[in-house]
């Protein structure tokens, strides 16, 4: 117990610090949990909570949507990466978001409970490596994201501040922990590289790096398995982990705004992404005005910095512009056919690894089905 200046009674320093800790939720969205995720994002915005981009900067894990035995180990791995003090909650369908999230601060600021949580986290870290591996998924990238710092394997682009709301996101990267590729591993779980002939006929190291299934601004349950030579994706195939029965999809305008928000967030334009989410929520509530939608779409379409940062990355920019056209038109039928996961594989193959997050975000495949695409 310590005495805080200006106070007449002694207070627990831990309790005092906890009450001044900002809430930083990390959303683990499950396949079919889109509406639950949106409800969490809306609650966080209304309460001034800044969403975390990596486990190391989070103190609340919000599981959004129904979990399955297939995807639960990945969620557990994310949870084990979040340092204490921490809270884990589950929002099932969005209707329970306010009830569940309203109790977060009380739990987070409970000193006795958090002391116990910290001791449990220490016991987990002290487990022998072999026992920890028994509880870890065999191939996990997003589930074990590194500490939110930029790395050589950074998966997202960044933009400088052009509009007063651009932010660089060093936390959009694909971690590579706990991979089991049937070969020897380096310290920390990294698989040792094998050798293969690249597109120029040179024999280079090949590294197997999966992305997903739990990453911020990432299609729910999607795993992209890549084979890298240098910084180029030589091979790729995708699968959906934890897929459940198909859920009702968002109306087209709301869906396009949601996809645009993800892409803009990964590109580093946080202000435009936040505005897209506000308009998405208004569209779902029937309150979005045509003028507001057109003004936002025009702003994004005219951004020179966005155009510059996305140029040369496949068809990312044209697909974003098509989404903007769909938003402005207000039609319930897309202007162009939705890309398939087979097309996603084609787009990723031959691309630089640093562009993978942007390419995936520009396709934003529907993961509510158990569709699996492979690229030999």
pLDDT 10s digits, 188-209: 455 555 655 555 555 667 899 9
Task: Express each pLDDT in 351-366 by its tens digit.
Answer: 999 999 999 999 998 8
DSSP-based three-state secondary structure for 202: coil
Residue length, the chain?
376
Give DSSP secondary structure letters for 341-374. HHHHHHHHTTSBGGGHHHHHHHH----SS---B-
Confidence of residue 170 (pLDDT cuts 50, 70, 90): very low
Higher pLDDT, 194 or 20: 20
Q: What pLDDT sits at residue 110?
A: 84
**pLDDT above 60 for 61:** yes
Give the range among 53-57, 60-64, 150-154 with minimum mean pLDDT: 150-154
Higher pLDDT, 188 or 116: 116
Longest dimension (CA), the chain: 76
Boundaries of every domain in the chain: 13-134, 139-376
82's CB contacts (< 8 A; 6+ apart) are 26, 55, 56, 58, 59, 61
Rounded to whole angstroms, the Cα distance separating 356 from 349 reads: 10
**pLDDT above 80 for 368:** no
What does the angle CA 332 – CA 338 – CA 343 come to, to the nearest 5 degrees?
175
Q: What pLDDT sits at residue 101?
A: 96
Where do the H-state alpha helices sit in the chain?
13-18, 34-46, 72-81, 97-101, 104-108, 111-125, 129-134, 252-267, 270-284, 290-302, 304-310, 316-329, 341-348, 356-363
Mean pLDDT confidence for 51-57: 94
Cα 109 off chain centre by: 26
Q: How far is CA 251 from CA 35, 262, 311, 323, in A?
A: 12, 17, 29, 13
Confidence of residue 158 (pLDDT cuts 50, 70, 90): very low
Q: How far is CA 120 from CA 88, 89, 252, in A?
A: 14, 17, 45
Residue 164 Rama label (left phi>0; alpha psi -120 to 50; beta): left
Q: Order of strands across the sheet with 60-64?
A: 25-29, 60-64, 87-91
Q: What pLDDT sits at residue 200?
A: 56
Confidence of residue 156 (pLDDT cuts 50, 70, 90): very low
Q: What pLDDT sits at residue 138?
A: 47
Higher pLDDT, 55 or 175: 55
Task: Express each pLDDT in 118-151 by its tens digit.
Answer: 887 777 665 544 444 444 454 444 444 433 333 3
pTM for the structure as a whole: 0.79
φ, ψ for residue 19, nearest 5 deg: -65, -15
Q: Cβ distance 51 to 44 under 8 Å?
A: yes
Q: Cβ distance 123 to 135 under 8 Å?
A: no
Domain spanning 13-134, CATH class: alpha beta
Task: Express each pLDDT in 282-315 by its tens digit.
Answer: 999 999 899 999 999 999 999 999 999 999 898 9
55's CB contacts (< 8 A; 6+ apart) are 26, 61, 78, 81, 82, 145, 148
Confidence of residue 94 (pLDDT cuts 50, 70, 90): confident
């Amino acid at each position: 117990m310590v005495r805080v200046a200006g106070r007449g009674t002694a207070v627990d320093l831990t309790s005092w610090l906890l009450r001044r800790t900002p809430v930083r939720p990390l959303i683990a969205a499950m396949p079919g949990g889109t509406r639950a995720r949106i409800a969490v994002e809306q609650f966080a915005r209304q309460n001034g909570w800044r969403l975390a981009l990596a486990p190391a900067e989070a103190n609340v894990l919000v599981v959004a949507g129904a979990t399955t035995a297939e995807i639960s180990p990945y969620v557990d791995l994310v949870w084990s990466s979040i340092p204490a003090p921490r809270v884990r909650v589950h929002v099932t369908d969005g209707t329970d978001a306010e009830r569940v999230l309203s109790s977060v601060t009380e739990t987070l600021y409970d000193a006795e409970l958090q002391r116990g949580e910290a001791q449990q986290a220490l016991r987990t870290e002290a487990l022998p490596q072999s026992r920890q591996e028994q509880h870890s998924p065999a191939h996990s990238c997003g589930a074990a994201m590194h500490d939110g710092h930029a790395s050589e394997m950074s998966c997202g682009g960044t933009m400088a501040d052009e509009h007063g709301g651009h932010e660089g996101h060093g936390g959009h990267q694909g971690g590579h922990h706990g991979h089991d590729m049937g070969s020897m591993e380096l310290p920390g779980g990294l698989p040792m590289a094998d050798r293969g002939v690249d597109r120029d006929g040179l024999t280079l190291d090949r590294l197997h790096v999966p992305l997903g299934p739990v990453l911020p601004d990432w299609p729910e349950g999607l795993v992209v398995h890549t084979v890298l030579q240098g910084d180029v994706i030589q091979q790729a195939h995708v699968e959906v982990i934890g897929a459940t029965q198909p859920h009702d999809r968002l109306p087209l305008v709301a869906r396009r705004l949601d996809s645009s928000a993800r892409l803009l967030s990964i590109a580093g334009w946080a202000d435009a992404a936040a505005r897209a989410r506000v308009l998405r929520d208004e569209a779902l509530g029937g309150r979005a005005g045509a003028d507001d939608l057109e003004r936002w779409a025009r702003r994004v379409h005219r951004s020179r910095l966005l155009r510059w940062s996305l140029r040369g990355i496949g068809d990312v920019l044209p697909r974003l512009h098509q989404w903007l056209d769909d938003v402005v038109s207000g039609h319930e039928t897309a202007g162009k056919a939705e890309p398939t996961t087979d097309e996603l594989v084609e787009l990723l193959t031959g691309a630089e690894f640093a562009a993978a997050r942007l390419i995936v975000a520009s396709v934003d495949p529907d993961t509510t089905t158990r569709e699996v695409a492979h690229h030999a």
